[in-house]
Structure 1
Amino acid sequence: PCLYVHPSNGTVVARFVDDMRVAGTEEAMNAFERDFGSVFRIERRYGCFLGLDITYSDGILRISLSSYIDKLAARFGLASTKPVSTPLPLRVDLSIDMDQPASDQATLFRAMVGCLNFCAVTVRPDLSFTVSRLSRALHHSHARHIHAAFHALTYLFHARQKCLMYRPTSLSSISVGDRDVMVFPVHAYTDASWSETEMQHRATSGRVLFL
């Protein structure tokens, strides 16, 4: 990904391969579209960028993956599934037994985990732990891992309307010396499993920060 900033009018262009987003004044963006379009063919696609559904209304920016997840539903046959309330089944066994042969559906499993990982790193942090656990079996998966991945996709499909929301907040200031400094409250959450007996006693930790 690349970010370009015009030195005089401040127009910002975010580019990833052949997908772009432009921010600036209406006059500057019209000029950019005219100049760029004289050299390259431009296709406008409102509300979608790199598989993300983006909407802005009433001062709130919403980013979701509902369109992408609908494609996953068609690919993996999720439409007829019943909702599940957690990304992984409770007390699921995801141990790896090297003495057992790997599943003959290893390619399918890797595809599932890859799709889940894209969701986790973009809009759905609630899948981060699930992806971390499933990824440990990419080299040697069993049927239980495939069932767990399908469970996670089922959870994702029935919760596809969940999104990230960004909204303006009122900030306070404090006096530092002879000037006022804006205060940005930070909220942090963390947890750890410390020991997982079925996974070689490796600890798993995670953290979330809100600014």
Structure 2
Amino acid sequence: MEDTLDPRLPPEPAMRFAEDDPLDHVAEWGPTATPVGTFQLVPVQIERDLALISGWMNDPAVAAYWHLAGPPVVTALHLRTQLAGDGRSAPCLGVLDGTPIGYWEIYRADLDPLARHYPARPHDTGIHLLIGQPADRGRGLGSALLEAIAQLILDRRSACARVVAEPDIRNTPSLSAFLRAGFRVSGEVELPGKRAALMVRERVLRDAP
């Protein structure tokens, strides 16, 4: 594959999985059954996945909210920033029945700048996502996967009592998907570059470990 990375960039960092991993080893969560197929979060490898993710970022419907349109180096810089941290954010491909269908970030919301904008609780876990292909949008796929991943987070992270997200309030399809996935609107927050709806799914008794 042709090397599309800017040679001035530092080498690709490896995902760190310390003994006290902030996200409880997302790479080891494995597949989960959903109403639309078997879904798995697969940690991003830039050399393998850059062309695919960059292509998604250049879709106008995605670029309007992710702001990563442009040459592959734009996406590469974003991914490298995610990977170079201390494990508090895990950039992943969302793989459905063996096919990558979107990009996901699972992150520690309580350790993120987002925590300055809402009453964060310890171990709050956040989700960012995009569905890559236009044909996969608007047919309930996103909400089914969101519901499954929110439940997976609560199953795999016993210390986490809430899953949160902050989609742009203009992104009505995303808001609808979160609502159908069992999230509620907790309020609105002003974030750099957007006004967001704070979406929250709390652990209930049946989710208790």
TM-score (norm 2): 0.21
Pair member with larger Rg: 1
**TM-score when scaled to structure 1?**
0.21
